[in-house]
Amino acid sequence: MTIPYAKPKPRGMLRLLLRLPPLLYRRGLAGRMGPRFLLLTTTGRRTGLARTVGLNYARDGHTVYVISGFGRTDWYRNLVADPVVEVQVGTERWRGLARPVSDPTERERAGRLFSDQAVGQGPPRAVRSLLHRLGLDYETEVGRVRDPGLELPIVAIERSSGGRGYATD
């Protein structure tokens, strides 16, 4: 029997570092960030405001998978309430439809893709070292997605039909 995974929310300096990718994108560094992170923008389930978070991801054709390493986080609950999302990877931006992945075969495939692809993505080595000192071992966390005993929330995001990407201000 699996139990939904819940990890304490990051605090202090770790929390600030995890909020860095959206800030870098907003500063015009999306081109330099390249495919390291995906920015996911959801609609706040209580406020109705746009909420953006930087996440690791895996691509499988036209599907992008994201995994909530901290359990059912705010961004996860937001997209369950309203599955229309915006995705940005580097300078590419598009709208999509998100859905939690419950099928065991798809979950296993997504976990495998994620752990294979995420090692080359995510924070640069120097930042990973700092994260480790703050209590987050990136490589260990990436490896955990393959643990069938953990029921990490996995989300599949499909590009909306007709969405060829778009630029926004």
Question: What is the tens place of the pLDDT at every residue in 3-16?
Answer: 455 555 666 655 55
Q: Which of 157, 169, 43, 67 is nearest to 118 (CA)?
A: 67
The confidence band for 45, taking pLDDT boundaries of 50, 70 and 90, is very high
State the chain's mean pLDDT as an integer: 76
Question: How far is residue 24's CA from residue 48's CA, in Å, rounded to a whole number?
Answer: 24
Higher pLDDT, 65 or 19: 65
Which of 30-44, 100-114, 139-153 is the least confident region? 139-153
CATH of domain 3-159: 2.30.110.10
Mean pLDDT of all residues in 121-144: 67
Check residue 143 and give its pLDDT. Answer: 65
Secondary structure string (H, E, C) spanning 36-86: HCEEEEEECCCCCCEEEEEECCEEECCEEEEECCCCCCHHHHHHHHCCEEE
**8 Å CB contact between 63 and 157:** yes
d(CA 128, CA 124): 6
Q: How many Å separate Cα 71 from the centre of its chain? A: 12
Rg (CA), the chain: 15
Q: What is the chain's percent helix, strand, coil content, to nearest 5?
A: 35, 25, 35
Q: Which two tokens stand for residue 161?
A: 């039909």
Q: Residue ranges of the domains in the chain?
A: 3-159
pLDDT at 17 over 90: no
